Amino acid sequence: MDLDARVRRALTIALLALIGCLDAATALIAPPVGAELALLDEPAHLATAVLVLLNLRIRERTFLLSALVASVVIDLDHLPRQLGSDFLTHGTTRPYTHSLAGVAGLSALALLVTRRRAIAIGVATGLLAHLARDVATGGGVALLWPLTGRPVQIPRAVYFATLVALATRAVARPSGWTNVRSPRTAQL
């Protein structure tokens, strides 16, 4: 086994262990919604996004960075509720931007602002990775908002089994992005 394969295997095991430990800590201490929960949940969102990215063959740095940033920054939309306003959450378990319409809108906004497809697709990828975790935690996500505020939820075991499958695939079929050289190495 070459060094890259060992590093990929160690990374995927570490990511799975991190997510498992963070979820166990959340269950054990039951932190209130807010900063305490964010300290446990945001690293798990980032780890989930890394597992997704390890399975893609896209090497462009702007795509990778956009996906990683979007996978955690989306939770800033929880701030209005924390400050006492429900203008982003009225009738839903999470803010409206935590929906497929939110993914489309925020990705389109990224494209409009940056005029770079790689960034817009990276934003969409990161947001979808974020939602993949959220459908298994904390009451689900109103994915089909504005059509319905009804949350979509899956068992946490299904989410974790999916992560194990992503980790296994990442080790078996490396994406190649561990050796990112230049933004021009892959075009989206």
Asked if the model's pLDDT at residue 158 lies above 70, the reply is: yes
The answer to whether the CB of 81 falls within 8 A of the CB of 95 is yes
Which of 52, 10, 58 is closest to 180 using CA atoms? Answer: 58
The model's pLDDT over 2-26, given as tens digits with 9 standing for 90+, comes to: 658 889 899 999 999 999 999 998 8
Asked if the model's pLDDT at residue 182 lies above 50, the reply is: no
Given pLDDT bands bounded at 50, 70 and 90, which one contains residue 128?
very high
What is the distance between the alpha carbons of residues 102 and 80, in angstroms, rounded to a whole number? 16
CB count, 10 Å around CB of 8?
A: 20
pLDDT of 5 reads 84
Both structure tokens of 144: 């089909």
Across 150-155, average pLDDT: 96
The answer to whether the CB of 97 falls within 8 A of the CB of 88 is yes
> What DSSP character marks residue 152?
B
Tell me, what amino acid is at 40?
L
> What DSSP character marks residue 75?
G
Regarding pTM above 0.85, the answer is yes
Asked if the model's pLDDT at residue 186 lies above 80, the reply is: no
What is the distance between the alpha carbons of residues 169 and 188, in angstroms, rounded to a whole number? 22
Given pLDDT bands bounded at 50, 70 and 90, which one contains residue 123?
very high
Helix (H, G, I), strand (E, B) or coil at 167: helix
Which of 56, 81, 182 is closest to 138 using CA atoms? Answer: 81
Q: Point out which residues pair with 141 in neighbouring strands.
A: 152
Give me the chain's average pLDDT, please. 89
**Category of 138 on φ-ψ map: left (φ > 0), alpha (ψ -120 to 50) or beta:** left
The model's pLDDT over 60-86, given as tens digits with 9 standing for 90+, comes to: 999 999 999 999 999 999 888 888 899
The model's pLDDT over 30-64, given as tens digits with 9 standing for 90+, comes to: 777 676 678 899 999 999 999 999 999 888 999 99
Both structure tokens of 111: 């494209």
